[in-house]
A and B are shown apart, each in its own frame.
Chain A
Amino acid sequence: MENTKWSCICKTVVGDTHLRKGTPNQDAEQWATLSGEVAVSVLAISDGHGSERCTRSHIGSKIATEVAVDLLGKFCQSIHTRGIELKDPKDSASPAVLQNSIKLGIRRELVPAIIQAWSRRVLEDLQKNPIEFELSPEEKFLPYGATLIAVALSKNFGVFLQLGDGDILVVEEDNTVVHLFQEEGAKIGDETNSLCQKDPAKLFQTEYQVYSPKLNSIQGSDPECVEVQASTPKNVPQKKFAPKTILVSTDGYSNAFSSDESFRKSASDFSQMLSTEQGQAEVQRSLETWLREYSSFSGDDVTLGLLYRHDSENAVEQQNLPANNQPVI
């Protein structure tokens, strides 16, 4: 299990409604595998709003995925350094201190850095190509409005970020499907939180998970604390297995299903397929066709990313790496 790796398949298709209106795909996707001290796979997807005044949301979503993959990747690689700096072998509280440091780092460093980088790139684009209609100062980012979902996974931990609509489904080792941020993210109609809103940092939802070398996952805990915590009933965290597959999607995907049950079933089905080389090949081969079928029901652009774990003995080397997705670090 030491050679646990994550692979990714990700595609996006323009929505049926957008095809009829002649508008571009406003979703974007980007992923990278970063080597180094900590090997990390990072995936980001974004849904540009596409409403009347969000005329450049396809650019906003592309910028969002680029800065998220870059900065989330760098942040994850810094986690190792944080561990060395903070860990005092004599202090039994160190793992908790490390956990808190990382959680605080996500909210206080990573999220603001993503927003800052996105805003800077948007302003650069605006300077090069001034907008064709009047905007009040507080609306300057509106034409580029977009959501963001980003996931980073190593063999030891996972970082999850979400701003606005879209979904993250985590398929656990026992095939149960967990819908991350479901309650907080539930919205009615087509309004969503967005990078273009005032103070979007407070609208981000974040999660940090630690995976043990045995692939047992203790959410928000450290693998070295498992036994200590297990012997302290008040502090026993809920044990669960590490994820097998993580599905991330823009809302054009979930809106295609007749029910939440049908939607969640798709994550189990994908996970099942991705557990074999034959299934991985079929997903690679058929994903675009399936996405077009989903889009014919939701009418919207559909972006779907699948991160799946495989171990060295049945590893699929980087055959799944899309040609246009190169590591950014």
Chain B
Amino acid sequence: MSNRPGGELAKRPLQFFWLCDCSGSMRGQKIQQLNFAIKEAIPAMVQVANSNPNVAVQVRAITFSSGAAWHIGTATEIQNFVWTDLTASGATDLGKALDLLCDALDINQMPERGLPPVVVLVSDGNPTDNYKAPFERLIRMPWGGKSVRISIAIGDDADLDVLQQFMGGDPRENRPLVAKNAQDLVNYIKWASTVPLNAVSRPASRPEGSSSTAHIDIPKPPPPTTGPIDPSSVF
């Protein structure tokens, strides 16, 4: 038996959240492609997790339409994570989703010694409830303020100002990703679910307040898809 001093050792937990718009406007191709893109991204997330053995990546998902709910409420290690397809109907209650997220990011709910959480918001529309107060709550929370927030717009009707606000930081550097077709969505979902994850998994401390815009160095996202695009895949 080892004489190593101290109690139990543990990988550093990294909480990853999907916030998925399941409003009526997502019905049809958009929700199908979102389900496909997330399922496609999971093996890549597992790969990132395996290449950072000191990190335990734990995934949860919130859906919002008329109200919000935990789609996957138990923080599940990515190696055991299975995506259940979403369906779409109703309004776009982003504020209620942010409230659920805030509850999960409460300092008493989060694991000790965790890495900054990563939150990916995917939406195609405008919030139908009051999202401002929950958003203020989020960014004022210790873990909310430190979270890495990425937003992906599906199609041209998403409210980019809201998505920009969600991301925070300098709009010249951090812009919402706009997926105009199915291939863009797959590319952006894969980027958002792996690259920030990898950056957060390899922590490098920094002086407090040294950068209010980007507290984690995250490589740039891929450009939009070029070349011939199947017209039926355009959102």
Contacts and interface: CB of A to CB of B under 8 A. Distances in A.
Interface of A: 16-17, 20-21, 47, 49-54, 142, 145, 147, 165, 187-194, 196-197, 251, 254-263, 265-266, 269-270, 273, 282, 286, 290, 293-294, 296-300
B207 A263 contact: no
B115 interface: yes
B205 A296 contact: no
Nearest to A273: B5
A286 B142 CA distance: 38
B12 A255 contact: yes
Contacts of B54: 16-17, 296-299
Among A189, A269, A270, the most chain B Cβ lie within 10 Å of the Cβ of A189
B228 interface: no
B207 A49 contact: yes
Interface in B44-95: 51-55
B112 A259 contact: yes
A259 B114 CA distance: 11
B3 A262 contact: no
B158 to A, nearest CB: 29
Nearest to B206: A51
Interface in B109-135: 112-113, 115-116
Among A53, A165, A196, the most chain B Cβ lie within 10 Å of the Cβ of A53
B6 A142 contact: no
Nearest to B203: A190
A286 B3 contact: yes
Contact of A282 (B3, B201, B215, B217): B3
B203 to A, nearest CB: 5
25 contacts: A16-B53, A20-B202, A50-B205, A51-B217, A53-B210, A54-B207, A142-B207, A145-B206, A188-B107, A189-B115, A189-B146, A190-B116, A190-B203, A191-B215, A197-B207, A197-B209, A254-B113, A261-B7, A265-B6, A266-B6, A294-B6, A296-B54, A297-B54, A299-B12, A299-B52
Contacts of A300: 203
Given A259-B112, A299-B54, A196 B207 contact: yes
Contacts of A293: 4, 9
Contacts of A187: 208
Given A290-B5, A296-B54, A257 B113 contact: yes
Given A16-B54, A142-B210, A189-B115, A258 B9 contact: yes
B57 to A, nearest CB: 13
Nearest to B107: A188
Contacts of A50: 204-205
Contacts of B203: 17, 190, 299-300
User: 5 tightest CB-CB pairs across the interface, nearest first?
Assistant: A262-B7, A266-B6, A299-B54, A269-B5, A258-B10
A190 to B, nearest CB: 5
B11 interface: yes
B9 A49 contact: no
B17 interface: no
Q: Interface of chain B, helix or strand or loop or mixed? A: loop
Interface residues of B, number: 35
A258 B7 contact: yes
B6 A263 contact: yes
A164 B3 CA distance: 30
A263 B205 contact: no
A26 B113 CA distance: 20
A294 to B, nearest CB: 7
B53 A193 contact: no
Contact of A52 (B115, B116, B142, B217): B217
B143 interface: yes
A261 B142 CA distance: 22
B230 interface: no
B8 interface: yes
Given A53-B210, A54-B206, A256-B10, 10 more contacts: A47-B205, A52-B217, A191-B207, A255-B113, A263-B7, A265-B5, A293-B9, A294-B9, A296-B54, A299-B12
Contacts of B113: 254-255, 257
Nearest to A15: B54
Contacts of A16: 53-54
Nearest to A263: B6
Given A145-B207, A255-B113, A21 B202 contact: yes
A215 B3 CA distance: 30
Contacts of B205: 47, 49-51, 147, 165, 190-192, 251
Contact of B53 (A196, A258, A296): A296
